[in-house]
Amino acid sequence: MYLYIYDQYQGGPEGRKRTEALVRRCAEWYIREERMNIGTVSPIILRTERGKPYFKEVPVEFSVSHTGRLWVCLIDRDPVGVDIQYMRKCRREQIAGRYFTPDEQEYATAMGEAGFFQIWTRKEAYVKFTGEGINEKMKDVSTLRSNEVEFVDFDIQKGVKGSCCMKEKRELWIRRLT
């Protein structure tokens, strides 16, 4: 499982095109590193009914997240989800009350801002993994004691939390895009 990091991302009106170009680049790197005999990556990225992106004819799964100028793409052969967030002031108690399970709320209270963002990035990575998007069901799944999925947490830089979600725990290889 590879996490590709790009630190010069610019969203805006052209953000989706930039993201798709970066995803194709990451997929090509992944295919080379994994020595998959596929050829070039299809330029077509499709979306499920709920919006989860995928390649039409390339047997890889990917997930994308960005915060500020940081952009990441997680790629593997199996379904994955990733999220990154700058730790910042927000209505943590309200958000936790709406989306966190009781054990997650306890953890976030005990661990403060870092704990809150660890749980939040896990929640977002989970909904990207499932393809369901943010909804009220997020409150039903504990990211601290789930038996369905595994999480790998990472820090890209100071003040940025990140989490990956996958079916079975895998080693995370980090690559920086230049």
pLDDT digits (tens, 9 = 90+) for 46-105: 888 888 888 888 889 999 999 999 999 999 999 999 999 999 888 989 999 989 999 999
The CA distance from 112 to 132, in Å, is 28
pTM, to two decimals? 0.91
**Are 148 and 166 spatial neighbours (Cβ–Cβ below 8 Å)?**
no
The pLDDT value recorded for residue 138 is: 77
In angstroms and rounded to an integer, the radius of gyration of the C-alpha atoms of the chain is 16
Report, as an integer, the average pLDDT of 134-157. Answer: 86
What would the pLDDT profile of 90-139 be if each residue is shown by its tens digit? 898 999 998 999 999 999 999 999 999 999 999 999 999 998 877 667 78
The CA distance from 85 to 161, in Å, is 5
Q: Which residue range(s) make up the domain with 137?
A: 2-176
Query: How many structural domains does the chain have?
Result: 1
- List, in sequence order, every residue forming a beta bridge with 74; answer none if it has no partner: 3, 63
The CA distance from 25 to 33, in Å, is 12
Neighbours of 175 (CB within 10 A): 16
User: Where are any strands of DSSP class E within the chain?
Assistant: 2-6, 45-47, 53-55, 61-67, 70-76, 80-86, 150-155, 160-166, 173-176
**Are 20 and 37 spatial neighbours (Cβ–Cβ below 8 Å)?**
no
Q: What CATH code is carried by the domain that includes residue 100?
A: 3.90.470.20
Residue 19, token pair as written in the block: 């993201």
